Structure 1
Amino acid sequence: MTTHQGIGAAVSDVATMIGRSVRLSRRNVDTVFVSMLLPLLMMALFVYVFGGAIDTGTQYVNYVVPGILLLTTGYGAASTAMAVADDMTTGMIDRLRSLPIRGFAVLTGHVAASVARNAASTAIVVLAALAMGFRPNAGPAEWVAAISLLLLYVIAMSWLAAALGVIAKSVESASALSFFMLFLPYLSSAFVRTETMPGFLQPISRHQPITPVIEAVRSFLTGTPLGTNGWVALTWCGGLLVFSTTLASVLYRHRTSQ
């Protein structure tokens, strides 16, 4: 087989598994619906219930939307971990191993479907935020920068979720393993300024990966000072992507070779 044929076969495998994962997402309407509904409920809760009591120096809906966007990706990533775990534990991977399909295509399909779900969820959240009073002052370049950073973050988190799905022994344990993806934004600057937190939490909030991503997106969309947050966010997301893809690939090969 020539190199060109090998690349063509690999692309075909990936496209096939992406199509399969997207079809599975369409069938699991309840999971997709919940992953879109929960961030909307959280945004409504913070904007309408808590927002009046939280002083961020600006209109609270403008402050909280970037955090909700990252929270949305956490819900999407959690569903990716469960989808991968379902494949790993129901015999689907064993059936695929009997076919001439490259192993990495399976995980790539799940990640691509996760990115598609998150894109739809993010669009819905932004539209709902605009209806709630969100007023970004970003120009075309800032929107491109914000979307690009969110896309890099989503891909990195989706690969990490895929790795967790590979090692999970059941769909339920995959959900439990991915819990930190949902919890970590609450220990960031997503909902309140870090300086208002207790002293022992402030270093954790400032130096964890979620905070610089949120602050960079907030800067792009609402014009707050960017500082070093852009480069720090890119470093975190790029490093997490390299780590996650490597980890997922190694774990998948190890588990499917047994």
Structure 2
Amino acid sequence: MSTTASPLGDSAIMLRRNFKHTLRNPTTMFSAVLFPVVIMLMFVYLLGDAFSVGVDYVDYATPGMIVLAICYGLGATATAANDDMTKGIINRFKVMDVSRGAVLSGQVIGSLVNNLLAVAAIVGTGYALGFRPTASLVDWLGVVGMVLLVGFSIGWLTVALGLSAKSVETAGLATVPLIMLPFLSTAIVPADKMGPGARQFAEYQPFTPIIETFRGLLFGSLQTSDLIQALAWCAGFLVVGYLWATATFKKRA
């Protein structure tokens, strides 16, 4: 690669490389896209009648499943970042004079593409199961914007976790808390249906206001407090993830 290559062009090349790797790995595609659909079918189609949430359960659950879909692909992103770091691929890029930022941003944008595919699959499955939001075009644009923001911010945190891990195995395990947190939020049932301790945890953890923001956008009940908290958590994820990822990259690469 020439030394005149732009960071944007290098990022596009890294994105294409990561996307090809994803297509060649059926397990990654299953985890990122199909498994969230399986989870949705299990909760909505098989167990939905067991939950009393005041509305059709598919309408309640779909916003939470959107966040679950974003989180389920994180393990693959972390392991891909760690694989590049531990197997010397990044050192080869340094010899080729590839933009340093492009190596990291390519992973983040690749994760974001997987997120969009997974969310599209979830929304399509929701409609097949009876999901009927009342969102306007502007609200839907807000939903897309939130998907991009959440995926982008958590993507940076995930890449940081992957770069910091000592092995591919530990990189995958490092993302387990992020994958499990949505299950302990209001994604499945409202917080007031939970027992003491679990209810308080659900109310004050980061994914609950994010899920409630999606729910509000889709059904015309958006609360300003939920939106502000969601944006604040995303900003926190982004700042911590970006600074951590770039510092680790400079130290280890």
- Same fold judged by TM-score > 0.5? yes
| Residue 15 of structure 1: aligned partner | 12
Does residue 86 (structure 1) correspond to residue 86 (structure 2)? The answer is no
Greater Cα shift, 71-80 or 26-35? 26-35
Whole-Å separation in 2 of the counterparts to 1:224 and 1:131? 23
CA contact (8 A) 1:115 1:155 kept: yes
Whole-Å separation in 1 of the counterparts to 2:12 and 2:140? 29
Whole-Å separation in 1 of the counterparts to 2:69 and 2:75? 10
RMSD: 1.5
| Residue 207 of structure 2: aligned partner | 210
Greater Cα shift, 234-243 or 159-168? 234-243
Greater Cα shift, 96-105 or 76-85? 96-105
Whole-Å separation in 1 of the counterparts to 2:136 and 2:111? 27
Stretches (4+) displaced over 4 A:
none
| Residue 69 of structure 1: aligned partner | 66
Whole-Å separation in 1 of the counterparts to 2:167 and 2:186? 33
Does residue 134 (structure 1) correspond to residue 131 (structure 2)? The answer is yes
Residue 227 (structure 1) shift: 4.2
Whole-Å separation in 2 of the counterparts to 1:252 and 1:207? 32
CA contact (8 A) 1:194 1:206 kept: yes
TM-score normalised to the size of structure 1?
0.93
Whole-Å separation in 1 of the counterparts to 2:224 and 2:113? 31
| Residue 178 of structure 1: aligned partner | 175
Query: Within 5 Å, which residues of 2 pair with 1:48-127?
Result: 48-127=45-124
Does residue 233 (structure 1) correspond to residue 249 (structure 2)? The answer is no
Whole-Å separation in 2 of the counterparts to 1:110 and 1:227? 32
Amino acid at match of 1:135: R
- Structure 2 residue runs without a partner (length 5+): none
CA contact (8 A) 2:206 2:233 kept: yes
CA contact (8 A) 1:80 1:114 kept: yes
Provide the aligned length of Structure 1 versus Structure 2. Answer: 251
CA contact (8 A) 2:153 2:238 kept: yes
Residue 85 (structure 1) shift: 1.0
| Residue 35 of structure 1: aligned partner | 32
Q: CA separation of 1:146/1:175 partners in 2, compared to 1, >3 Å: closer, same or farther? A: same
Whole-Å separation in 1 of the counterparts to 2:122 and 2:184? 21
Amino acid at match of 1:180: P
> Among the aligned pairs, what percent are the same residue?
35
Whole-Å separation in 2 of the counterparts to 1:194 and 1:116? 31
Amino acid at match of 1:125: I
For each residue in 1:188-217, what CA deviation from the matched residue of structure 2 results, as whole angstroms up to 9, or x when unmatched?
000000011111122211111100000010
Does residue 250 (structure 1) correspond to residue 247 (structure 2)? The answer is yes
Residue 239 (structure 1) shift: 2.0
Amino acid at match of 1:121: A
Q: CA separation of 1:12/1:46 partners in 2, compared to 1, >3 Å: closer, same or farther? A: same
Residue 34 (structure 1) shift: 2.9
